[in-house]
Amino acid sequence: MSISEEIMSAAVPPGETAAVRHVRHFHHLDPETHGRLFLHAPQALGPDEDRTVLAVALGATLYVPATRSDLADTILRRSGDGVCSMVLDLEDAVADDQVEAALLNAVDALDRLAVHGGARMQLFVRVRAAEDLRRIADLLTTGVEVLSGFVIPKFGSATGRAFLDELAAASERLGKHLYAMPVLESPALVHRETRDDELAKIGELLVEHRERILAVRIGATDMCATFGIRRDRDLTIYDVRVVADAIAGIVNFLGRADDTGHVITGPVWEYFADHERMFRPTLRATPFEEHNEVRFRQQLVSRDLDGLLREIALDRANGIQGKTVIHPTHVAAVHALSAVTHEEYHDALDILGAESVGGVQASGYRNKMNEMRPHRSWAEKTLVRAKVFGVTNEGITFVDLLTALAVR
């Protein structure tokens, strides 16, 4: 069955009886809201789903310090809020003298979570050192059932092999296929004179462990730190040229639309509080006025979410899927812009269903030309995203999705 046929035949949502650990985006919305928003609802995805589909399904990946005393409860609460991937952080979010306690706390949270039936999300631990993978594998009991894999910080050609070898050993020891998500953020990637060589070597290393690489993450905060930069909340990461150049290099080497490419996720947006603005908001008023949601737009602007929405759009334009987030309020924005619109879906079906591989024809929406050969890989990726995030009804926009998630 093709992905488009799977979407068409998928059972409609929220009351579904799939295993609790299956991921299903927007599962927390009620059936009436689902019916209003979606032509084809997001599908339930099990841990044995295709690797690329699981990578796209990461969506907004929420990082949480592993030192939290209520870690298991936090995971369950966020799952109920629609978070579909989380990272228990042992690295930057944890002080050096708390790493051991954080590691033990993460293991305990995973074990307790499994006893209670797990959560409907992909769960990862971001470690500091390669030996942390071995320790966690040795300490876990029931928690292995809910662990999806590990996030590897400051991944490089010189350090990455030790982590990936430990991951393979941990998978064998636990009897489960565990995934790695390397984070690219080192100075060797940012510095222009070493970038190409480093990316080529990283690419070769990832090829050796391809089936274990779920997605490649971008660590823009560490990249900025290489130059003593902290980007302002009025700017996107693409306005910071030295980092934008590095992101372009990563996508060029590792995100190609062929058998060599990986899903690459977007860097974190680190702002979430009110502040005095220097520049005008980047969020157009018209879509909100049409929905009588002017006040909602003002709330988004006051929390800097207009900047986040713009950066998500730029992520997508630059070949990037999903995003690292550090605040729960950012999740809805990422997921609302990830759903496939009615227009995108039917363009993708027209391109993939064309009798001829080449040629060009007008979109059914009569507002663009669809070129069958160059747009084919876009169409294939769009149908994967449709399977994961659903297809909206005609006339439904990101404003409808955002407001539905906000009023819940």
- CA 100/CA 80 separation, integer angstroms: 29
What does the pLDDT average to over 292-316? 70
How high is the pLDDT of residue 364? 78
Contact 155, 182 (CB under 8 A): yes
Taking residue 393's Cβ as centre, other Cβ atoms within 10 Å add up to 15
How high is the pLDDT of residue 360? 80
Residues whose CB is less than 8 angstroms from the CB of residue 218 and which lie 6 or more positions away in sequence, other chains included: 183, 184, 185, 247, 250, 264, 265, 266, 267, 320, 324
How high is the pLDDT of residue 302? 45
pTM (2 d.p.): 0.89
pLDDT-derived band at 7, boundaries 50, 70, 90 = very low
pLDDT-derived band at 211, boundaries 50, 70, 90 = very high
Q: Which residue has the tokens 């309020």?
A: 329
**Considering only CA atoms, which of 139, 17, 152 is closest in space to residue 90?**
152
pLDDT-derived band at 274, boundaries 50, 70, 90 = low
pLDDT-derived band at 365, boundaries 50, 70, 90 = confident
pLDDT-derived band at 271, boundaries 50, 70, 90 = confident
How high is the pLDDT of residue 289? 59
pLDDT-derived band at 402, boundaries 50, 70, 90 = confident
**Mean pLDDT lowest among 62-76, 84-98, 262-276:** 262-276
**Mean pLDDT lowest among 13-17, 191-195, 357-361:** 13-17
How high is the pLDDT of residue 129? 96
pLDDT-derived band at 353, boundaries 50, 70, 90 = confident
How high is the pLDDT of residue 273? 63
DSSP string covering 132-162:
HHHHHHHH-SGGGGT--EEEETT--TTTHHH
**Mean pLDDT lowest among 227-236, 274-283, 349-358, 364-373:** 274-283
282's tokens: 């980047």
- CA 384/CA 377 separation, integer angstroms: 11
Q: pLDDT per residue over 14-52, tens digit each?
A: 444 333 468 999 999 999 999 999 999 999 999 999 999
- CA 365/CA 395 separation, integer angstroms: 12
Q: In the predicted model, is pLDDT for residue 378 greater than 70?
A: yes
**Considering only CA atoms, which of 387, 184, 340, 378 is closest in space to residue 266?**
184
**Considering only CA atoms, which of 308, 309, 217 is closest in space to residue 267?**
217
Give the mean pLDDT of the chain.
Answer: 88
- Where do the structural domains in the chain lie, given as residue ranges? 49-285+293-338
**Over pLDDT 90: what percentage of the chain?**
73
Domain covering 49-285+293-338 in this structure, CATH number: 3.20.20.60
**Over pLDDT 70: what percentage of the chain?**
86
How high is the pLDDT of residue 301? 45
